[in-house]
Structure 1
Amino acid sequence: MSSDTSTDTDAAPPEEDTGEDPILGKVIDGCKVVRKLGQGGMGVVYLAEHESLGQEFVLKILNPSLTGAEDTVERFFREAQACAQLNHPGIVAIQNVGQEGEYYYIRMEYVEGETLEDVIRKEKQLEWRRATEYAIDVADALSHAHQKGMIHRDIKPENIMLTPKGEVKVMDFGLAKHVHSSAKVSVTGQIVGTPFFMSPEQAGGKPTDARSDIYSLGVTLYYLTTGVKPFNGKNLQEIFLKHFFYAPESPKVYNESLPEALCEVIKRCLKKKKKERYQSAKALAADLRGILEDPSRPLADIERSAPSSAAGPVPGDDGDKTIATGGADDDGGATVKVADDDGGATVKVADGDDAQTVAVAGKGRRGRDRGEVKSVSFTSASMVFQDDDATLQVDQAEEEEDAHAGL
């Protein structure tokens, strides 16, 4: 998989055929390629018509630049074959996977309609009952996939189709992972997903499980009900920092009609630690159905003692650091305050070409004066501030991994 955070569906609307694409007009898996639908890091997506059946399908062609890597091709086939075992009305079906000449392809069901991203761009925000119904349909589809051992890893409005009949279809399992897949054909530390919607563990290049999809669905539901992305930023670093450490404002701030119970459900989905989220998509769907039945009914299994959902730092436990992202400073950079028992440090994340320039001041751990920082490193999972005397590393809290959680 590409380390690029874009995916096959992070693309512009369908393009007009120019005749320059060599794949247009070719017959692959018995289907004549008609037009290009989109393009992303993993490959190109086309609309094709089966020559014998006269039926329309979608062909996803693996990017030729990736076919030279044996592990990429092996993973492409293995994961597509695993996804083909999914049989649920809420999941776009994979019909076939194979190789024809120089092209590696996946043939999928073609679904008419529009994505929820298209819908939200037109309507700005959705009535909460409607958005909740969509989320239940997605959770049901994910529950089926999770029970089959598949994790989607890229749940977002662009990957959720709404048909003319009002049916919800989860598509693009192109980043999906099977929990039983061999680590030998994976690249350690790859970041897969879409920055605004990915879970903290994905952003940090750490192991994912079913609860990672639940986080992304929570972000999606927040967005559908408010029209606001809860983890936004001017650059990738700022977005990731917010996923790691920042509790967004309650969605009720942007949509006063939302029931408190729904806000609680969303907040629980967005917990930084996987063990504090819903442990299965089935449990999430059950609570959402309960809200539709009675919006005023308290949800007994939602922790009322959880940290406030008001914007601000997420209180750390088990030794976590307290992080708060501030607004832009005079120079236009975002600021992050790293606090420990003995003091703090201010981190300035600049924009543009200087996105990794960081200034740190204050005391380090054990109260030592930090002085000027000699080196700063940014990784997807941590920030390391180092001088001659001390090193302070702010990282995500380690959790006991359970690849089968939620399955």
Structure 2
Amino acid sequence: MLAFPPSESLIGTTLGNYYLEQLVGRNELGPVFLGSTDEGSTYLVRFILAPCALDPQERAAYQERFLQVAGEVAALQHRHILPLVDYGSYLGGSYLVTPNLPMQTLISALTKSGPPSLSTIGDYLEQIAQGLEYAHEQGIIHRNLSTDCIFLLRDGRLAIGDFGVMHLLELATPAGQGYPDYGSGEGRAPEQLQEGSCGPCTDVYALGAVLYRLLTTHAVFRDSSREGVYAQHLHAPVTSLQRWRSDLPEALDEIIRQAMEKEPARRFQRPSELVAAYRQAVGLRAGAAERLEESASSSLETATVRDQAAEEAAPASSVAEAGRGRASLWRHLLRRLRVTWNRRSSSSTG
């Protein structure tokens, strides 16, 4: 690991726009600080220290790739992705800055409350899939999706964190030195462990593992060592959900098995395909977002037909007034949608 000063010595340091107020934690990658700005906003400043010793040339190449990857992640703007608001390098280490929001990890919520309802799980899967597919469209694969980097926000919305982190660790690990150990490993796809290429199906594999945890609160594979877990990802079949819950539809076993096929080509090819299969298996008609879109479409269609009929029957002098009425109707419908969405998001946390 790169030489880096003791974490406590950085308290009180100004790092770019951020004053490091206190050390709030450490993980396998490095320290995490609470930082504040002159405007009074607070952020989490998280250091990523390269896991292997790099010579000066390797370090320069890594820093160049870090800036490229971090810039791509910072460009992601989606309601189900935790934003990366800043990044940089300091004393041989790289850092990422995210908002300091009231939230908890999905694994923490599961530990406290147990498995959510099948309907809530469907809404969770839909939110995660939307965030993943948006990132995939930008050419970014998460590579480390798990219940400890998916966050439940105060409004009931999910946001995916850790985009780009595993890729940065892979870039800092020279070939032949093994796969970087980071995170729970609960959804580590076989192609990653074999140092193959990653694609959307890599995240589909991990989403299958997330679904397994949501349904059972247990990881798909467990062992006393991370190497043992990795070996199971490479070779072991998925344990049936019936081991933990006999009340679940048997079709869910097949869905998770397909999501976690060892060969990427045999998996669902998009996260949304997994979500659609889940909804069909448990009898859910549509996800929350789709229901809102259908409701909005129906309401607006009805309003449009009514307005067209009124315009055809009205004198020319009243057309302008009809236009103002439509604008008011649009504002009213948008307010209704926001209220409905907030209520359903809040209820989904139960």
When normalised by structure 1's length, the TM-score is 0.61
Q: How does 1:43-122 map to 2 (within 5 A)?
A: 43-51=30-38, 53-63=39-49, 69-99=59-89, 104-122=94-112
Distance 1:141 1:77 in 2: 22
The counterpart of 2:14, out of the listed 11, 27, 38, is 27
In the TM superposition, what is the alpha-carbon distance from 1:174 to its structure 2 partner?
A: 4.0
Q: How does 1:141-156 map to 2 (within 5 A)?
A: 141-156=131-146
Q: Deviations over 1:316-347 (max 9, x none)?
A: xxxxxxxxxxxxxxxxxxxxxxxxxxxxxxxx
Q: Is the 8 A contact 2:115 2:216 kept in 1?
A: yes
Identity %: 23
Of stretches 162-171 and 276-285 in structure 1, the one that deviates more from structure 2 is 276-285
Q: Deviations over 1:146-178 (max 9, x none)?
A: 111111111111101001111101001243549
Distance 1:139 1:127 in 2: 18
Q: How does 1:194-213 map to 2 (within 5 A)?
A: 194-213=184-203
Q: Deviations over 1:165-223 (max 9, x none)?
A: 11101001243549xxxx99873354245433211122222222111111111111101
Q: Deviations over 1:338-376 (max 9, x none)?
A: xxxxxxxxxxxxxxxxxxxxxxxxxxxxxxxxxxxxxxx
Distance 1:77 1:146 in 2: 19
The counterpart of 2:232, out of the listed 228, 233, 242, is 242
Q: Which amino acid is 1:145 matched to?
A: A
Q: Deviations over 1:69-97 (max 9, x none)?
A: 22332232221111111111110111122
Distance 1:184 1:256 in 2: 43
Distance 1:248 1:102 in 2: 41
Q: Greater strand percent: which structure?
A: 1
Q: Deviations over 1:272-310 (max 9, x none)?
A: 110111111232233344456538xxxxxxxxxxxxxxx
Distance 1:77 1:43 in 2: 18
Q: Which amino acid is 2:9 matched to?
A: P
In the TM superposition, what is the alpha-carbon distance from 1:111 to its structure 2 partner?
A: 2.5
Q: How does 1:257-272 map to 2 (within 5 A)?
A: 257-272=247-262
Q: How does 1:249-260 map to 2 (within 5 A)?
A: 249-260=239-250
Of stretches 237-246 and 84-93 in structure 1, the one that deviates more from structure 2 is 237-246
Aligned pair 1:191/2:179, yes or no?
yes
Distance 1:234 1:89 in 2: 36
Aligned pair 1:125/2:93, yes or no?
no
Q: Deviations over 1:359-399 (max 9, x none)?
A: xxxxxxxxxxxxxxxxxxxxxxxxxxxxxxxxxxxxxxxxx
Q: Which amino acid is 1:199 matched to?
A: A
- Segments of 5+ residues of structure 1 without an aligned counterpart are 3-18, 296-407
SS at match of 1:151: coil
In the TM superposition, what is the alpha-carbon distance from 1:103 to its structure 2 partner?
A: 5.3
Q: How does 1:3-402 map to 2 (within 5 A)?
A: 21-51=8-38, 53-63=39-49, 69-99=59-89, 104-177=94-167, 187-189=174-176, 190-192=178-180, 193=182, 194-291=184-281, 294=284
Choose between structure 1 and 2 for higher RCO, CA contacts under 8 A separated by at least 6 residues: 2
Q: Which residue of 2 aligns with 1:313?
A: none
Equivalenced residues, count: 273
Q: Is the 8 A contact 2:35 2:43 kept in 1?
A: yes
Distance 1:102 1:245 in 2: 38
Q: Which residue of 1 aligns with 2:324?
A: none
1:49/1:185 Cα in 2 relative to 1: closer, same or farther (>3 Å)?
A: closer
Distance 2:44 2:27 in 1: 15
SS at match of 1:21: helix
In the TM superposition, what is the alpha-carbon distance from 1:20 to its structure 2 partner?
A: 6.7
Distance 1:184 1:205 in 2: 11
Q: Deviations over 1:25-52 (max 9, x none)?
A: 212121111223332333322221112x
Q: Is the 8 A contact 2:126 2:272 kept in 1?
A: no
CA RMSD of aligned residues (A): 2.8
Distance 2:195 2:236 in 1: 18
SS at match of 1:58: strand
Distance 1:188 1:78 in 2: 20
Distance 1:105 1:151 in 2: 20
1:265/1:111 Cα in 2 relative to 1: closer, same or farther (>3 Å)?
A: farther
In the TM superposition, what is the alpha-carbon distance from 1:24 to its structure 2 partner?
A: 1.3
SS at match of 2:11: coil
In the TM superposition, what is the alpha-carbon distance from 1:116 to its structure 2 partner?
A: 0.9
Q: Is the 8 A contact 2:118 2:282 kept in 1?
A: no
Distance 1:81 1:22 in 2: 28
